[in-house]
Amino acid sequence: MNIINPATGAIISTIKSDTREDLNTKLANLRQGQKSWAKKTVEERLNCIKKYGELIQENKDKLAHILTSETGKPLQQSLNEIQGAQNRVTHLSQNAKQWLAPEVLVHKGTTLERIKYEPLGVIANISAWNFPYNVGYNVFLYALVAGNSVLYKPSEYAALTGKQFEYYLHQSGVPKDVFQCVIGDGRLGQQILESKVDGYFFTGSHKTGLHIYQTVASKMVPVQLELGGKDPLYVADDVVDVKQAAINAAEGAFYNNGQSCCAVERIYIAVGIYDEFVKAFTEEVKSYKIGDPSDLSTFIGPLTRGEQLKVLKDQIADAIAKGANLLSGGKAIEGKGYYFEPTVLANCNHDMKVMVEESFGPIIGLQKVDSDEEVIELMLDTEYGLTSAVFSSNEERAMNILDAMNTGTVYWNCCDRVSPNLPWSGRKNSGIGSTLSSQGIRAFVQPKAYHLRKT
């Protein structure tokens, strides 16, 4: 498989794809390996994960360059991602023992009722390229600590990074027959769906997620889907500093080139501050440094996948044809690589694709609203349910809106963030199940209920 640098279009590496036979061998090994891995204590398994975290920290510069070279993520953002994902290691180290401990519910006379949490077995983790550390760790670190073995399929656009995960996990003491990376594109993903595993944990698009859900339904194994979003942000007219709100909103929309599941994808602005906000927002976006992602000062690099250029062009043409004003950007940048100008569209409405379909790129639609009631209706007008955000100085006002949202996550005066303390989950077309927090580890175990009576 050729690995392409999206900043130049050059082939930077060629790696061997796994065949169906390789996949079968790896799965058979994982089946065997899981048995002894599950017998280890949580502490022993955690020691491997802690060691893994240390090795990643020691090698983060090299790893950031690898991530940047295959995804085009600006180097500083690659470093941020590696550093940020480390909080999963810390959080697991502090909490996993307690989360996985058996629970005694009743101990009365001769009766004992308790729950034991047992691993699922061999799980498949089919993952996305946009934040491979974050979304990978959310699954495979938690699954390993819980006693499962893991077949990890990175996206073909983050395959080199996936191989590094495998290398460093093995270096950290995770046995080779407990974590295996498989290399290949969607066809290999399809073969995984046809194989015997004890759970599917997927991060990616709604389209693929739905296909996975339907394909594996008859297996009756847990399926968890972390899918896309069309996340709204409302900027109310009582924000303390309109310019700062615009800077923060723009970062939420354009960080990682907008290729974040929880990127701000549509912004509603109260009529009273609309003009001031739009001006500050556009100025901020125009100031972004676009260029070579390996330069630490670059904020906007190339898109990871060339095919997305077409989606963006189509959404922009559709919005302009329906009356949107193009305030910045609007087209691909000529030359090598998959560069697209950061694009701001004002005067948008829900007839336009840019306000209802996931863009997953550096474009944003801005819409003026007259009231909180109107904005609630607009924010709820979506097939997705990942996150919603409100910028306002009034907590009660913000909570009224956020309480009405049908999303797994809500933000007040912040956006586009994930915390290991809190469950990460989508509703509707944004997915099923939760990663992170105590709920995230419970996804990788099955409870066994013990009814015990001493005679």
Sites of contact with ligand NAP (CB under 6 A)? 126-131, 135, 153, 155-157, 185-186, 189-190, 193, 203-205, 208, 211-212, 226-229, 261, 358, 360, 386, 426, 431
Shorter beta-carbon distance to ligand NAP: residue 68 or 127: 127
Shortest distance, CB of residue 402 to ligand NAP, whole angstroms?
19
CA atoms within 13 A of residue 168's CA, in its CB half-sphere: 22
Shorter beta-carbon distance to ligand NAP: residue 190 or 421: 190
Shorter beta-carbon distance to ligand NAP: residue 125 or 282: 125
Shortest distance, CB of residue 383 to ligand NAP, whole angstroms?
12
Amino acid at position 92, single letter: L
Strands (E), 15-108: 103-108
Identify the CA nearest to 343 among candidates 368, 359, 326, 360.
326
The 10 Å Cβ neighbour count of residue 283 is: 15
Shortest distance, CB of residue 340 to ligand NAP, whole angstroms?
16
List all residues 6 or more positions away from 352 whose beta carbon is below 8 Å from its beta carbon. Answer: 315, 318, 319, 322, 324, 345, 365
Shortest distance, CB of residue 191 to ligand NAP, whole angstroms?
8
Identify the CA nearest to 69 among candidates 304, 300, 277, 236.
304
Shorter beta-carbon distance to ligand NAP: residue 151 or 242: 151
User: Which pairs with CB-CB distance under 8 Å and at least 24 residues apart come from 238-244?
Assistant: 238/392, 238/393, 238/394, 238/397, 239/273, 239/391, 239/392, 239/393, 240/393, 242/273, 242/276, 242/277, 242/280, 243/276, 243/280
Identify the CA nearest to 286 among candidates 348, 228, 328.
328
Shorter beta-carbon distance to ligand NAP: residue 52 or 157: 157
Query: Alpha-carbon Rg of the chain, whole angstroms?
Result: 23
Shortest distance, CB of residue 186 to ligand NAP, whole angstroms?
3
Q: In the bound complex, which residue of the shown chain has the CB atom lying closest to ligand NAP? A: 189
CB 15 within 8 A of CB 21: no
Shorter beta-carbon distance to ligand NAP: residue 67 or 369: 67
Shortest distance, CB of residue 227 to ligand NAP, whole angstroms?
5
Shorter beta-carbon distance to ligand NAP: residue 329 or 440: 440
Shortest distance, CB of residue 8 to ligand NAP, whole angstroms?
20
Shortest distance, CB of residue 145 to ligand NAP, whole angstroms?
19
Q: Tokens 């500083």 label which residue?
A: 76
At 415, is the secondary structure helix, strand, or coil? coil
Backbone angles phi, psi at 131, to 5 degrees: -135, 70
Shortest distance, CB of residue 185 to ligand NAP, whole angstroms?
4
Shorter beta-carbon distance to ligand NAP: residue 29 or 155: 155
CB 95 within 8 A of CB 48: no
Shorter beta-carbon distance to ligand NAP: residue 157 or 254: 157
